[in-house]
Each structure stands twice: as structure tokens, then as C-alpha cells.
Amino acid sequence: MARAVTIGNGNLLVGIDERGQVRDLYYPYVGHENHVSGASGNNLHRIGVYVDSTFSWLSDSAWEIQVGADAETSIGSMMAEHHGLGIRLKTRDAVHNEANVFLRSIEVTNTGKQARDVKIFFAQQFHISESRRGDTGYYDPRVKAIIHYKGQVALLVNAYCNGKPFPEYNIGIFGIEGKEGTFRDAEDGLLSGNPIEHGSVDSVLACPLPLAVGESQTVEYWMVCAGSIPEAHTLDEYVLEETPERLIASTEAYWQAWTKKENIDLSLFADDLQRLFYRSLIVVRVHTDNRGGIIASSDTDMLHHGRDTYSYVWPRDGALIVRALARAGYGDPTKRFFEFMAQCQEPGGYLMHKYRTDGSLGSSWHPWFFQGEPRLPIQEDETALVIISLWEYYERYRALEFIESMYNSFIEPAAQFMLEYIEPTTGLPQASFDLWEEKYGTSTYTAAAVSEALLSASRFAILLGKESDARSYQAAAERMQTAILEHLYDPELGMFVKHVRHGPDGRLEYDRTVDVSSLHGVVDFNICAVDDDRVLRSLQTVTERLQVHANSRGFVRYENDTYYTLQDAGSPNPWVITTLWIAQYYIKAAQTIEDLAAAYELLEWTCSHATGAGVLAEQMHPHTREHLSTAPLVWSHAEYVVTILMYQEKYQELVAAGEDV
């Protein structure tokens, strides 16, 4: 179950599913340790209702539930109605923009035909620091709240109804010793009141609400995240003093100001496209840790299918995501990302596969020993893309002192690595893993990115008066551009090849699989002009062989892509990223306002594949449009932001050039 809403403040990120249940709770680093780890079907935070001797969790199918989020704020919402029980719940959910507090304000309405006593139950299941060992949960009478803690993580849970603290609770164990979970104690409407437990600990609290016919009352629930129990006490006191209502309101005001900071004119676009633009900016920011790392996704459901999640900082994803942030006017988180990457850089000048948001090395499947020889387990495009995005950041913000501080420590080592990591017989980059993290060789996309990165490094060197460096980087980039056109374009295929590598006999072996990244790379990184015959032929080849001819007419990554492809689909899955790359080509190539129509159609296609809460996945089923793999995918949202801004800029250019509107 993908995340319907993700909310956060750069230290705390909360993921809520389509039933309004908390599935993810990352703290104090975004994406690092998930203290709920909702990939397990039973490991989540539940909401339940007891009325007329009947109990129902929101996971029950009888509830009609809509989960959403305001387009211009990081405020989640849920509307849940159970006609059989005669109860309606309406929530406003927030992570406070300053304090590490998750807040849920729940309006409970009696839609039945008689006055009734209703109880709202909140059940929490934590795996603090992603481990079930050594957790403690207890009721703290000093603050009349439940506290779960382990090590340097303290999670305090509290709720008020009718202005009074919750009167019932229970604390127990789950997932061990044959115990399914203490949440089961709620289902008879009474909680046992056990005050403490350790091991794999869960807790439940209850709020009673006497409701007249048609009456509504509000339950305020919150969870504070802290590094110690005293700090949790202090934050809890802060919530009580300020009130959850005012904290949610101030958070809403902050995000409204944040999304409109640059006052971007989106009047060219339909309302739904505008809403997705603002929602995409918020998704990007929520997944950006305050110390600079940007994770690919917070959705942990991938653990159902694989060995790991997307909750890591890929230098590639991050570099392309900050392109969106920088273009939209958000220089501060962009700068912090580059500082984070500089701290991660290896002594040899390159960046590794992926990292955790605390700066430590992430998991990987790239081997150090490949085909009988030692190899660097890297994707060279990741190093290159960070340098490219850094130059784009400088062009917009002219942060010369920052660039000067980064040159000797980060830019020059990266450029020297790329300068030396070149195949002498072809002039192309030496082999590494491609941007899809599957094939080992020299891909067209990576070669184009490295060429552009060397040019960016040359521009930095010129800027700082380092003429010798500038000449070396520029000369290598120009030789690489020539090598790309000589070795990687196949006129018979009508396409730039996927990749090339040396075979056992030393001869070049080509992978001629049609891959949309090959087209995008040569265009995005200025290897060829948009009207170059090789580009036009490649576009035709991509359109003929990679566009889905089904209910969802997006573009797949490459021929015979099997990643998350279902047997009944008859086609690989279209991706948001690759479809928007084609839209970006149409924008760059447009000579008239009418030429932009094809790009606008693909923006509409993207918007039509978002959820009601504005969530974009990585890929979709070609017939049913079902979200597959992970959702949200931050890269998808970033490419949408970039494409909207590119469209707007090109439209204005054409109008300024005398094009009729």
C-alpha cells in the first residue's frame, strides 16, 4: 500500500496510507531509521471506533475513506465514514514546521439517530531504530502520557478529549511470544491498564466522547519525537501550551508562505496541473533532510518484494531533484545538498552508489570484483550529475564564495577523477554501472553526463582563474563529445546505443537495446542540437518502440524492461520520469506556441496518473494505471516541477519573440 500522504519538517517524516494509518515514522534523519517500518502488515499505527458494543478499525472495509492533502501546504486530511456505525471522522494531520511533533486533530460526528457514547482508540506499534529488541513503553503519570523509548529516541504519545487527558490505556507486546498485539485489547471497548512493558512493545489509548444526535467533538492526538525523555516532556508541555489547533494552523501558514515564496505565475496551466506542481514541491521538501540528504522515497512497502527500500540518498536522484528546487527558487536546501555530497565524496574524487542521510554509506549490489577483475562499484553519472547541478545552481544564485569553498575540496577532485577515468582507445568514460543500476559498461547517458560535467568543471575553473584546469577539462569534454558521436550512434538502428564495453577479446561489444535515456542524455547534456538528424531519428525510434499503446500511453525505460512488469501486462510499465523526458524534448524543440501542445499533453498524462492526494509513483501498470514499485517517487515529482518550469519559460520566450498566443 503506497503512501497516500507524506508530511514532515526535515527531521521528522510521517507516512500515512490510504486507510489513514501511520506506516512510516522517520526521526531524527529523514529516511534513516523508520521507527514504525510499515512494510509489515501488522506493524502500523491504527485508529479504531467503539460504539453500541461494536468495534471497528479503519482497516475494515466498511469504512469509506478518502485520504488527501492540501495542494499548497504539508497538511494531510482524512474523511472516513462508517454508515453501519453511524460515525464520521474528519482529520487534519501535520508535522509541525519547527518542533518535532506529529499532530492529528480528529472531528468525530454522530450521524446516527440517537445519542451515544463513542470511544476513539489509538494503537501504536514501534520498532524503535528498526529493531524489536530492547524497547520500553510505559505510562508516565508525571505528564499523563505514554512514552516509548530506546537509546537516544524517546516517543511520547498523548491525546485530549473534551479538554481532558485520555483516561484509558494499555501497554503490552506484539510480534513475539505468540502475541499479535495489544491493539486486540481494544476490541471489547475496555483497556486493561498495564503500565509498562519491554521488548517488542506496543500501546493503546482511548478517548471517550458522549455524542448527541448530529453532534461533533474533536479529539486532539499528538506524538513528540525527542532525543531524551526530559526533552519529550518539554515538547509535550509546548503542545499543551500552544494547543494542537494553533500548531496545525501555524504549520499551514508556514507552508502556504513556502510554496508561494517565488510567486511563480502558473496561469498557463489548468488547475489540476497547478495543484500537482505545488504538491510536488512539498513532496520534494518533505523528503529533504535538514542536513542536506534527499531520499528517493519514504515508502517502505518495497520490503514486501525485495531486500531494501528507496530511503537512501542516491547522488543521481538528489542532483536531479535539486535541479527542481533550484529552478523553483529554493536555494537553501539545494546548497545543503551539495555540502552533504562533498562530505560523502571518496578520496578518489568519485561518489559511491548511495548513502544514508546521516552521511554513512548505503547498501549496494554493485561488486568491487567483476568478471574476474577489480572494478570501482560506481555509477559515474552520479558524480557527473552533481557537478552539472552545482553549475546550474551557481548560474541562478551566483554564490561565488560558496563555489570557491567547494572547488579545491569537491569540484576539482571530482573533475580530476572524471578526467582520468577515460578509456584511452575510445575517449569515452571507462565502464561503470548505468543510471538504471543494471548494466556494466559505458552508456550513452553516462558519457553525455560526464562530458557536460567536465565542461561545468571548466567553467568553474575559469571563474576562479584556474586556467590550466579549465583547458584540461574543456579539451577532455570536447574529445568525449566527438567520441560519443563516433562510437555510440548507430545509423542502422536509428538511435544512440544503450551502452558499449570491451569484450574478452578486446573488441567493442554494443548493447543496441533502445533506451530512452540515450536520447535524453544527448539532448539534455548538449551533445547534439534538438534538430540534429541523429536526434530526430532517435526520437522517432523511441516513439515507435517505447511508447505504450494501451490505456496508459506513457513511455517505458527501454525495450523488454522487466522491473515490476506484471505477466498480464503485455508491455513494460510506463514511467513518469521517462515520459516527462519526452515532454522536455518537445519543449526544447518548440518553435511555435502550437509546438508546445505535445508537451502539454504529457503533463496532463502525468497529472492523470497522480492520486487524489497528488502522489506520483515511479511506474504504472500500462492498462490499469495501478501504481507500481514505490510511491511517492521524489524524482518523478522533481521532473514534473522541472517540466512545468521549462514549459513556462519556453512559452514566454516564444511570446517575446513575437509568437501569437
Q: What are phi and psi of 206, to 5 degrees?
A: -130, 145
Question: pLDDT, tens digit, for every residue of 607-659?
Answer: 999 998 899 999 988 888 888 889 899 999 999 999 999 999 999 999 998 86
User: By C-alpha distance, which of 633, 638, 647, 635 is closest to 604?
Assistant: 647
Mean pLDDT, rounded, for 3-30: 95
Mean pLDDT, rounded, for 342-349: 98
Segments forming the whole domain that contains residue 122: 5-255
Residue 505 lies in a domain: no
pLDDT at 365 over 80: yes
* Shared-domain flag, residues 334 and 214: no
Euclidean distance between CA atoms 39 and 253, whole angstroms: 33
Neighbours of 57 (CB within 10 A): 17
CA geometry: angle 420, 422, 426, nearest 5 deg: 150
* Shared-domain flag, residues 190 and 295: no
The share of the chain scoring above pLDDT 90, in percent, equals: 86
What is the band of 551 on the pLDDT scale with cuts at 50, 70, 90? low
Euclidean distance between CA atoms 604 and 325, whole angstroms: 22
Domain containing residue 563: CATH number:
1.50.10.10
Q: What pLDDT score was predicted for residue 38?
A: 54
pLDDT at 66 over 60: yes
* Shared-domain flag, residues 185 and 116: yes
Residue 464 lies in a domain: no
pLDDT at 303 over 70: no
* Shared-domain flag, residues 373 and 299: yes
Neighbours of 510 (CB within 10 A): 15
User: What DSSP state is assigned to residue 24?
Assistant: E
Residue 476 lies in a domain: no
CA geometry: angle 95, 98, 100, nearest 5 deg: 55
* Shared-domain flag, residues 280 and 134: no
Residue 87 lies in a domain: yes
* Shared-domain flag, residues 62 and 15: yes
Higher pLDDT, 93 or 44: 93
* Shared-domain flag, residues 56 and 159: yes
What is the band of 9 on the pLDDT scale with cuts at 50, 70, 90? very high
pLDDT at 18 over 90: yes
Q: What pLDDT score was predicted for residue 227?
A: 97
Q: What pLDDT score was predicted for residue 33?
A: 92
* Shared-domain flag, residues 330 and 236: no
122 contact partners, CB below 8 Å, separation of at least 6: 45, 46, 47, 157, 159, 204, 205, 206, 207, 221
Residue 470 lies in a domain: no
**Measured torsion, CA atoms of residues 430, 432, 436, 437, in degrees rounded to the nearest 10:** 180
Q: What pLDDT score was predicted for residue 626?
A: 86
Domain boundary, last residue among 231, 255, 279? 255
- What are 319's three cell numbers? 542532483
Question: pLDDT, tens digit, for every residue of 165-193?
Answer: 999 999 999 888 888 889 999 999 999 99
pLDDT at 228 over 50: yes
Residue 443 lies in a domain: no
Higher pLDDT, 295 or 175: 295
* Shared-domain flag, residues 207 and 348: no
pLDDT at 259 over 80: yes
Residue 438 lies in a domain: no
CA geometry: angle 191, 222, 219, nearest 5 deg: 65
Domain containing residue 125: CATH number:
2.70.98.10
Global pTM reads: 0.96
Higher pLDDT, 324 or 132: 324
CA quadruple 606, 609, 614, 615: dihedral positive or negative?
negative
Question: pLDDT, tens digit, for every residue of 376-388?
Answer: 999 999 999 999 9
**Range 180-217 burial, b when 16+ CB lie within 10 A, else e:** ebbbebbeebebeebeebebbbbbbbbbbbebeeeeeb
Question: pLDDT, tens digit, for every residue of 420-454?
Answer: 999 999 999 999 999 999 999 999 999 999 999 99
Residue 450 lies in a domain: no
Q: Which residue has the cell 559511491?
A: 352
Euclidean distance between CA atoms 389 and 446, whole angstroms: 15
* Shared-domain flag, residues 301 and 233: no
* Shared-domain flag, residues 25 and 150: yes
pLDDT at 229 over 60: yes
The mean pLDDT value of the chain amounts to 94
pLDDT at 495 over 50: yes
User: How many domains is the chain partitioned into structurally?
Assistant: 2
* Shared-domain flag, residues 491 and 520: yes
Domain boundary, last residue among 221, 255, 289? 255
Q: What pLDDT score was predicted for residue 304?
A: 46
CA quadruple 124, 128, 134, 136: dihedral positive or negative?
negative
Domain boundary, last residue among 255, 289, 304? 255
What is the band of 300 on the pLDDT scale with cuts at 50, 70, 90? confident
CB of 205 within 8 A of CB of 185? no
CB of 52 within 8 A of CB of 38? no
What is the band of 1 on the pLDDT scale with cuts at 50, 70, 90? low
Q: How many helices (H) and strands (E) does the chain have?
A: 15, 28
CB of 252 within 8 A of CB of 244? no
pLDDT at 517 over 60: yes
Name residue 194's amino acid: N
